[in-house]
Amino acid sequence: MAEKQLRRNLAVLPIGTVMKLTGQTARQIRYYEAQQLVLPERTAGHQRLFSLNDVDRLLELKDYLAEGATIAQIRQIYQKQAQKRQQPELSDTQTRQLLAQELLSVSGLVGQRSAISQSSKLY
DNA sequence: CTTCTGACA
DNA sequence: TGTCAGTA
């Protein structure tokens, strides 16, 4: 199951194939890359190589754009999704435990009042 | 022949 | 965006 996802992320498709698969022009695909909406890999000779996930991304992009979304809006959507993968949201209890630990470790140095404001900056 | 970057109507 | 030029 994990092996399959790995293959979907394998960059092996040249732009010509992606054009046929998405119905987009090379110009558009390159433009979307410039806008950070897709991040294809490169061969030693600078040729773009797309993965199946990249193709899905472009197909999805076509829908979002058709629905009137802005390049900037779509970019933010993907950026926030990427951030959440690296920094998964904490459950309420996890947050409380973490906050409690921060409070304990910082209060010893600066006292409770400022300890609260300092630890809150961490979230 | 295919792709790449930069540029211009 | 399309398209043309000059490359790799």
pLDDT band with cut points at 50, 70 and 90 for residue A105: low
pLDDT of A113: 46
- The residues, ordered by sequence, that sit 6+ positions from A21 with a Cβ below 8 Å of its Cβ are A13, A55, A59
Q: Which two tokens stand for residue A35?
A: 């806008």
pLDDT given at position A81: 92
Indicate whether A119 pLDDT > 70.
no
Check pLDDT > 70 for residue A116: no
Any atom of strand B under 7 A from CB of A49? no
What are chain A's domains? 2-86 (1.10.1660.10), 90-123 (no CATH)
Scanning A23-111, the segments in alpha helix (DSSP H) are: 26-34, 52-66, 71-86, 92-110
pLDDT in tens, A21-77: 999 999 999 999 999 999 999 999 999 999 999 999 999 999 999 999 999 999 999
CA closest to C3 C1', residue:
A27
Within 62-121 of chain A, which residues have Cβ less than 7 Å from strand C? none
The answer to whether some atom of strand B lies closer than 7 Å to the beta carbon of A117 is no
